[in-house]
Amino acid sequence: MSVRGNAVNYAGKIEIEFEVSAKVMLMCSRCIENYVEDINISSNHIFVKEGFQTDEEQEIYNGDEIDLTEIVLNEIAAELPMKPLCTTDCKGLCSVCGKNKNQAECGCKADEIDSRLQVLQKLLEDKQGGV
């Protein structure tokens, strides 16, 4: 992970701009294989010393240092996908045997009908039988 930035102190406020570049190991939500995601973030934060008047967009600090660790980690977490995918066309796992379909086809029959839709299948069969 790389964090680069600068800080400007003006009128009792410290404005910090930084850029984060990180490689994050994630697990694909379809095939459960690990993969690396590149994260690139630009962020800007304004800090005011404890005891001074602040507005909603300013953060408070005390002492002589500002620890950005939690802020940087939160920025990275906010950039992570809610449903990570190793590739946009990931085929996932076979719902019958559990084999990763990206590596090889398993030959399982995937024409099982959702139990909630079996009534519709029966109507379709009745209509075809009556024609």
Per-residue pLDDT of the chain (131 residues; tens, 9 = 90+): 999 999 998 877 899 999 999 999 999 999 999 999 999 999 999 998 876 766 667 888 777 888 999 999 999 999 999 999 999 999 999 988 899 999 998 888 766 666 777 777 778 777 776 55
Whether residues 47 and 70 fall in one domain: yes
**pLDDT for res 20:** 97
Whether residues 75 and 99 fall in one domain: no
**pLDDT for res 5:** 95
Whether residues 101 and 43 fall in one domain: no
Whether residues 111 and 83 fall in one domain: no
Contact 50, 63 (CB under 8 A): no
Phi, psi for residue 52 in degrees, rounded to 5: -90, 155
Whether residues 117 and 105 fall in one domain: yes
**pLDDT for res 36:** 97
Instruction: Give the chain's domain count.
Output: 2
Domain that holds residue 117: 91-131
Whether residues 71 and 99 fall in one domain: no
> Angle at Cα 101 formed by Cα 22 and Cα 98, nearest 5°?
100
Whether residues 113 and 80 fall in one domain: no
Whether residues 74 and 108 fall in one domain: no
Whether residues 95 and 70 fall in one domain: no
Please tell me the pTM assigned to this model.
Answer: 0.69
Whether residues 20 and 43 fall in one domain: yes
| Structural Rg of the chain based on CA atoms | 26
**pLDDT for res 113:** 64
**pLDDT for res 76:** 95
